[in-house]
């Protein structure tokens, strides 16, 4: 789903690891070659999806997507998280999976013939889309080994609302219509590190994926997200002199705030 970004990062010197989550990834290829899809036949996915329906939940989401009042957005996020325990369970599962993968990479770095000493564990970055983005936020607030993180268009489920971001962070929000996009002030104002909010006009939630390969304007969308993600990680993982605010001058459809 994100190969277009993975290959760009790998081409710029990063080791890229994609994590599959049992019964939760859009498509997970298991060790025996069988495939689990996130469809209506997947019981857990269907139950989690049902959490996003209902008047209270929709009201909370509408506030998060439309309000510029920090107190109001904070209350809406707390209500949303209260009403979506299965999403919190998913974030905790994805967090646990990610921590386990890091442990596996540590062993590979010590023992694997091809990969021995290939990794720099002082320079770990994480990014994700949707629930994966919320997982990136969760880890940036709970795992000190994460040095930079990006949430791409994901409601920040999990317990980050009760703690602080501890690594440089970027929230990227789609803005398909009007002034409707994910607000992030509860997390940005309480962050302990540089935090950015980048809003992309004309992007929908699915614009941040390989589905753009089949879209009329897809190549431009892919180029934009590649540049945004690479620029952020180059600044905070490679200590390159990058001014993220200049991206706003280079692309007419993005607006950036720094906190």
Q: How far apart are CA 108 and CA 121, in angstroms?
A: 12
Provide the whole-model pTM: 0.93
Q: Would you write out the chain's pLDDT as a tens digit for each of its 259 residues?
A: 899 999 999 999 999 999 988 777 777 777 888 887 766 666 666 777 778 888 999 999 999 999 999 999 999 999 999 999 999 999 999 999 999 999 999 999 999 999 999 999 999 999 999 999 999 999 999 999 999 999 999 999 999 999 999 999 999 999 999 999 999 999 999 899 999 999 999 999 999 999 999 988 889 999 999 999 999 999 999 999 999 999 999 999 999 999 9
Q: Are 259 and 191 in contact (CB under 8 A)?
A: yes
Q: How far apart are CA 77 and CA 28, in angstroms?
A: 30
Q: Are 199 and 171 in contact (CB under 8 A)?
A: no
CA atoms within 13 A on the CB side of 105: 18
Class of the domain covering 3-258: alpha beta
């Amino acid at each position: 789903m994100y190969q277009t970004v993975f290959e760009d990062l790998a081409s710029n010197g990063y080791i890229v690891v994609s994590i599959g989550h049992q019964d939760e990834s859009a498509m997970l290829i298991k060790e025996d070659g069988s495939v689990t899809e996130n469809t209506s036949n997947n019981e857990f996915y269907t139950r989690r999806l049902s959490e996003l329906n209902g008047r209270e939940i929709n009201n909370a989401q509408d506030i998060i997507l439309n309000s510029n009042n920090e107190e109001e957005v904070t209350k809406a996020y707390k209500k949303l998280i209260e009403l979506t325990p299965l999403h919190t369970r998913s974030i905790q599962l994805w967090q646990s999976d990610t921590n386990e993968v890091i442990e596996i990479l540590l062993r590979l770095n010590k023992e694997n013939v091809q990969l021995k000493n290939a990794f720099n564990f002082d320079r770990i970055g994480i990014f994700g889309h949707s629930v994966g983005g919320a997982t990136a936020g969760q880890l940036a607030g709970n795992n000190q080994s994460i040095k930079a993180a990006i949430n791409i268009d994901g409601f920040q489920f999990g317990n980050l609302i009760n703690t602080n971001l501890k690594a440089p962070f970027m929230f990227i929000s789609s803005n398909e219509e009007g002034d409707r996009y994910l607000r992030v002030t509860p997390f940005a104002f309480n962050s302990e590190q540089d935090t950015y909010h980048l809003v992309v006009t004309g992007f929908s939630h699915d614009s941040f994926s390989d589905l753009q390969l089949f879209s009329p304007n897809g190549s431009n969308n892919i180029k934009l997200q590649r540049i945004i993600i690479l620029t952020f990680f180059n600044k905070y993982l490679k200590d390159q002199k990058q001014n993220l605010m200049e991206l706003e001058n280079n692309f007419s459809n993005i607006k950036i705030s720094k906190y």
